[in-house]
Amino acid sequence: MKKNYRSLCTLIFVIFIASCSGTISSLDEKGQGAGHMYEISDVLAKRLMLSAMKAEFSKGTIKELTDSRLGYHSTVDWGGDTDKIELVAIPAIGTNKAGAEVKGYIFSAKHSGTAPASGSPTIDRLIAHVISDAEKLGVSYHFKK
């Protein structure tokens, strides 16, 4: 009986940890920026993302991603739990009204960790902020690839 209890507890723990992550992006079929890419430069994409991150996190906790992706990360602490939050700009190609291909970015935010109650709302606000700013400053087109 003790072995079955231990196995059940392990299974519940693994399921809990696996379910503590999420992603939202302007590729999503619903929500703000759905299906759109933004014809903006990489410099402007970084500025928009940093502005969104500063609205959610203390300046000292925001770090630029160190891999090849364009973006930032920080953490959310809630009680004894922590969620890592990432906001990235992904190169994309869209089609303008004349049918020509245009280059720009889509935005994606994700969280992972043990504080999904604070991570999920945070990535929703990040995407809303960066998409709102991108739509004010750049031209958006339907995402092609």
Amino acid at 30: K
Considering only residues 3 and 120, tell me which one the structure prediction assigns the higher pLDDT: 120
Instruction: Spell out the domain ranges in the chain.
Output: 21-143
pLDDT band (50, 70, 90) for residue 139: confident
List, for residues 25-65, the tens digit of each pLDDT value.
545 555 555 678 899 999 999 999 999 999 999 888 999 99
| Nearest to 126, CA basis, from 143, 115, 111 | 111
- The chain-wide mean pLDDT, for the chain, equals 79
Instruction: Determine what percent of the chain is predicted with pLDDT higher than 90.
Output: 32
Q: Quick one: average pLDDT of 11-26?
A: 48
Q: Report CA torsion sign: 32, 35, 39, 41.
A: positive
pTM over 0.85: no
Sequence-distant (6+) residues with CB within 8 A of 57 are 74, 85
Assess whether pLDDT exceeds 60 at residue 141. Answer: yes
Separation CA 143–CA 101 (nearest Å): 10
Assess whether pLDDT exceeds 50 at residue 9. Answer: no
Q: Work out the burial of residue 82: count CB atoms within 10 Å of its CB; fewer than 13 is exposed, 13-18 middle, 19 or more buried.
A: middle
Helices (H) and strands (E) in the chain, counts: 3, 7
